[in-house]
Amino acid sequence: MKQTLKKMSWLVCPALPLVAAANPVQDSYRAAAKQENPAFQDFSATAGRRLYTTRVGELACASCHTDSPMQEGKHLKTNKVILPMAPAANPKRLTDAANVEKWFKRNCSDVLKRACTAQEKGDFMAYLLSK
């Protein structure tokens, strides 16, 4: 029995990161990104990091959320504490689709001065989920 379980573990263990990385909210952006761009392949944590640090004028996401999405941030105007962005540090993050979309709408407009594309939203989430 032990040997059978041991042999099976090599089949199951490599799949664990894929299961852990699955995110229904990000999956909805994946479908939208495919509609926006038929050549869409997948999201990029590297592109998400670039978006996180992109500065338009005086603001970047990192302005309030710090250089590390694993840390608490602070709103620049109100000084209100902002819980970590990365789900690894804040398990409730990126779990409610309506809440995620609300903050993308607000923050993309405030920081980038435009709406984010589905590709950008998915890339951003890929970056946060990679932490």
Residue 7 in this model has a pLDDT that exceeds 50: no
* Residue of 102, 95, 91, 100 whose CA lies nearest to 131: 91
pTM here is: 0.81
Q: Does residue 26 register a pLDDT over 80?
A: yes
Whether residue 99 is contained in a domain is answered as: yes
Instruction: Let me know if residue 106 belongs to a domain.
Output: yes
How confident is the prediction for the chain on average, in pLDDT?
Answer: 86
**Do the domain assignments include residue 42?**
yes
CA dist 65 and 82 (Å) reads 7
pLDDT tens, residue by residue, 65-87: 999 999 999 999 999 999 999 99
Residue 74 domain flag: yes
Residue 118 covered by a domain: yes
Per-residue model confidence (pLDDT) at position 23:
87
Residue 9 in any domain: the answer is no
The answer to whether residue 25 scores a pLDDT higher than 50 is: yes
What residue numbers bound the domain in which 88 lies? 23-129
Compute the average pLDDT of residues 106-127.
Answer: 96
Q: Is residue 10 part of a domain?
A: no
Q: Which contacts of 93-98 are long-range, i.e. CB under 8 A and separated by 24 or more positions?
A: 93/128, 94/23, 94/25, 94/26, 94/125, 94/128, 94/129, 95/25, 96/25, 97/24, 97/25, 97/28
Q: What is the mean pLDDT of residues 48-71?
A: 95
- Domains in the chain, number: 1
pLDDT-derived band at 22 (thresholds 50, 70, 90) equals: low
The CATH number that applies at residue 80 is 1.10.760.10
Residue 81 lies in a domain: yes
- Asked whether residue 4 carries a pLDDT value surpassing 70, the answer given is no
Secondary element (H or E) of residue 90: none
